[in-house]
A and B are shown apart, each in its own frame.
Chain A
Amino acid sequence: MVALVIALALFFDFTNGFHDTANAMATPIATGAIKPKTAVTLAAILNLVGAFLSTEVAKTVSGGIIREGSDGIQITPDIIFAGLMGAILWNMITWLKGLPSSSSHALFGGLIGAAIAGIGFNSINLEGLLQKVILPAIFAPLIAGIVAYVCTRLAYLLTSRHDPETGSKLTQKRGGFRTGQIFTSSLVALAHGTNDAQKTMGIITLVLIAAGTQETGSGPQFWVIAACAFAIAIGTYAGGWRIIRTMGAGLTEVKPAQGFAAETSTASAILASSHLGFALSTTQVASGSVIGSGMGRRGTSVRWSMVGKIALGWLFTLPAAGLVGALTALLVKTGVIGVLIAAVAGTSAVLFMFFYSRKSAVGHHNAIEVEEAGQAVRFAKTKARARARAHAKAKAEADAKAAATRNAPLEAESDTVTTKDVQR
């Protein structure tokens, strides 16, 4: 069971990595600051470095949400197994849909659902839930959005130059922001590594402690740190291109100055929150920043329908992951067979989603540019379908006419007219 949970935790780390590549690398890829392949490689390396840099967050994974310790309940590997299952499945679903959603919320949701089903409703600390998950979910995009808006306005204000006499525009060299983007996006990737790899380390350590192979209160062991760091780095390198497309081109068009402003706001929001103790989700901060910077530049429109979709995804993250977690917890309760069923079902669901995604693969070659091409193809397709339909209709009428001519030539004439109308 312990080995199974560790494998599952590492896989969650992997999904976390490729789910969150977009946070750091979507905007520089969209503005052409970094080539897609280079971007994910850079992000992967920085995630790896970041994961090794700090292990402070590792212990605070579930603390405060599920009552644990002497007066509360003991978290068993079963609960963690069920929680991870919920988190992974929700991560895969949102990835398939190309929605940027918080991996940590998925993890929280899974654990909460598993705890409710496995132990009971009183195992949940509602105040902790409100404080750690729900309020940050509202404020993270809000803060990041406002800051990104202000920064974008400032960046354009400070770099706009007009000739005082003629009023014509002078060179502004806003392409210079591209160079800056390389650094700001690297900062976001590093911050992500210091934050998110920790969660998995914390979980594996929790399992090891629960199984009695590690002393209570000790930090993560080195092999755990290394495994988690590599899992998240490999995941990042694999790249969640679907989400990169959403973040880089789906929300708004990103220009270098906007990208720079958005990444700076994302990086500072994450750093400020992890340093000052009000944890914000990386994904939600990054999405808020992109939206804010989209509003900050004149002539840019934000695709609010996409924003709505993402918000809906966030709303469902907790209950959906919780539901899967709860179901898995119930299965696991039945014994070894239940565990096996859950493991097989989870694996097959993940495999199914993976192969389903192959049908319309989004890779580094088409993550951003494909947007227009995809629309064009779809447009052509509908057009072709309409033409085919008209053709079929015309043919059917021609057949009917051929049958009719034998009996009534006069009627056929009027039919020909209608056929022509259809063809036109």
Chain B
Amino acid sequence: MKWLELVTVAGATLASAVTVVVLYSLGVRLTAIAGDAQASPGFKKSLAYVCFGLCGVAVLFGLYLIIPYFSG
């Protein structure tokens, strides 16, 4: 039985999903903070965009993994 593969799949799923969700949620939170803040909303806003960008990179990495053209 392929228990090891099952555990790997479960672990990889959890890790990747949590990464994407945490990054995106932070982005959403920072956008909300930037909307409220009186002082330097621009900085917070750019931080939010950094989070969204990192999230996008994570997704693109996932795409890179599924498309066999790239991986091999």
Contact = CB atoms under 8 A, between A and B. Distances in A.
Interface of A: 53-54, 56, 131, 135, 139, 143-144, 146-148, 150-151, 154-155, 158-159, 161, 170-174, 176-177, 180, 183-184, 187, 190-191, 194, 257, 260-261, 264-265, 267-269, 271-278, 280
B9 A143 contact: yes
A264 B17 contact: yes
B37 to A, nearest CB: 11
A269 B28 contact: no
B55 to A, nearest CB: 8
Nearest to A127: B1
B5 A187 contact: no
B15 to A, nearest CB: 8
Contacts of B56: 183
A173 to B, nearest CB: 4
A139 B7 CA distance: 10
The 4 closest A-B pairs by CB, nearest first: A158-B25, A272-B12, A268-B16, A173-B32
Nearest to A57: B68
A177 B28 contact: yes
B24 to A, nearest CB: 5
Main secondary structure, interface of B, reads helix
A359 to B, nearest CB: 40
A16 B45 CA distance: 43
A178 to B, nearest CB: 10
29 contacts: A135-B6, A139-B6, A143-B10, A150-B17, A150-B18, A151-B18, A155-B25, A158-B22, A158-B25, A158-B28, A159-B28, A171-B32, A171-B35, A176-B31, A183-B59, A190-B63, A194-B66, A264-B20, A264-B24, A267-B17, A268-B12, A268-B13, A268-B17, A268-B20, A271-B66, A275-B66, A276-B8, A276-B12, A277-B5
Residue from A53, A269, A272 whose CB has the most chain B CB atoms within 10 Å: A272
Contacts of A172: 28-29, 32
Interface of B: 1-2, 5-6, 8-10, 12-14, 16-18, 20-22, 24-29, 31-33, 35-36, 55-56, 59, 62-63, 65-69
Contacts of B35: 171, 173
A161 B32 contact: yes
B29 to A, nearest CB: 5
Contacts of A265: 13, 17
Contacts of B12: 268, 272, 275-276
